[in-house]
Structure 1
Amino acid sequence: MKWSLMELRRYKDEPLVIDTTIELADTLLKRDETILAVGPARVVGTMNVEPREYIAQVQVDVVLTLPSSRSLQPVEYPMSIAFDEIYMTPEEYALVKGTDGYEHAIVLDSTTIDLREAIEDYILLNIPLQVLTEEEMASDDLPSGDSWTIMSEEDYLYQQMETQAQTIDPRLAKLSALLDNNEESE
């Protein structure tokens, strides 16, 4: 997934077609300790060579094995990520700096473009915060233990409203007692 700029210039008339499978397990497991396993990544896309930039349009399909957010059980999580990247040499970037559309261009520090790094970054950025097993998704039960429970935000807000309704402002407690006495005397 690495090409020299000289090699890419041969594709200025027609795009370089990318259709391959790569192994990312060794580097992804080092970069993120929460990943348990990584399947082969299918990479499909094109690399277009323009006069001032190199544009990669890529689709990556990979299956990660991640721990469940609730039970830490292994969960296979299929990912399908599409991204576009614009690569420029420092000289090319200096000519267009400040121009709309080039704010997110990647300035190359060598004479090669390595898509593997971008693929790994996009995979890591798209790992969800919540991963659940099929049983956990089907169940409405939330984990609990000795003197603790997990509750939904809606349940928490409802409980807070009930608690506030039952709490009497200490400044008005005597007035409340006076009202109670009036109701008893009637």
Structure 2
Amino acid sequence: MKWSLMELRRYQHEPLVIDTTIELADTLLKRDETILGVGPVKVVGTINVEPREYIAQVQFDVVLTLPSSRSLEPVDYPMTIAFDEIYMIPEEYALVKGTEGYEHAIILESSTLDLREAIEDYILLNIPLKVLTEEEMLADELPSGDAWTIMSEEDYLYQQMETQAQTIDPRLAKLSALLDNNEESD
């Protein structure tokens, strides 16, 4: 997943086609301690060499093993991610800086283009906050314990509305007592 810029210049008239499988387990496990395992990453895409930039259009599939956010049980989480990146050398970027379309260009710090780091970054950015096992997704009950319970936002709002309906504003308590007296006298 690493090419020298001189090597890429050979692909000015036709795109470099990428179709490979790479291993990123060692680096991803070091970068994020919550990841329990990483399967092989199947990468397909192209790199188009333009006069000023290198345009990478990549899609990859990977299966991560992540802990369930409820029970910490391991869950296999498949991911399919596609991205487009523009890479430029500093001299070329200086010429187009501020031009529309180049705001998000990545400036190459060396004379090589390495897509491994971009793939790792996209994997880390797309890890969900909520990961559940199949049983947890199918279960209607949420976990609870001594003096605590987890509830959905809808249940919480419903409970708050019931509590407010039952609670009488202390400023209006005397008025409520007058209404009760009037009903008794009728």
Whether TM exceeds 0.5 here: the answer is yes
| Corresponding position: 1:144 with 2:144 | yes
- Residue in 1 that maps onto 2:129: 129
Distance of 1:140 and 1:97 partners within structure 2: 54
**Partner of 2:66: helix, strand, or coil?**
strand
Partner of 1:177: 177
Alignment partner, residue 63 of structure 1: 63
Aligned pairs for 1:80-99 within 5 A: 80-99=80-99
TM-score of the aligned structures, taking structure 1 as reference length: 0.98
SS of structure 1 residue aligned to 2:171: helix
1:14-29 correspondence to structure 2 within 5 Å: 14-29=14-29
One-letter code of the match for 1:147? A
Give the aligned residue type for 2:163. T
Deviations 1:145-172 (A, max 9, x none): 1111111111111111111111111111
**1:184, CA displacement in angstroms?**
1.9
Residue number in structure 2 paired with 1:47:
47
Matched, 1:110 2:110: yes
Corresponding residue for residue 160 of structure 1: 160
Identity value in percent: 88
Q: Which amino acid in the other structure matches residue 184 of structure 2? A: E
Aligned residues: 186
Segments ≥4 residues shifted beyond 4 Å: none
Aligned to 2:36: 36
CA shift digits 1:118-168 (9 cap, x unpaired): 000000001011011111111121111111111111111111111111111
| Counterpart Cα distance in 2 of 1:177 and 1:13 | 88
Residues in 2 aligned to 1:135 and 1:100: alpha-carbon distance in whole angstroms = 49
Following superposition, the deviation at residue 185 of structure 1 comes to: 2.3
Aligned to 1:79: 79
Q: Secondary structure at the match of 2:103?
A: coil
Q: CA RMSD in A?
A: 0.7
* Distance in 2 separating the partners of 1:101 and 1:80: 26
Q: Where does structure 1 lack aligned partners over 5 or more consecutive residues?
A: none
Normalised by the length of structure 2, the TM-score is 0.98
Structure 2: any 5+ residue segments left out of the alignment?
A: none
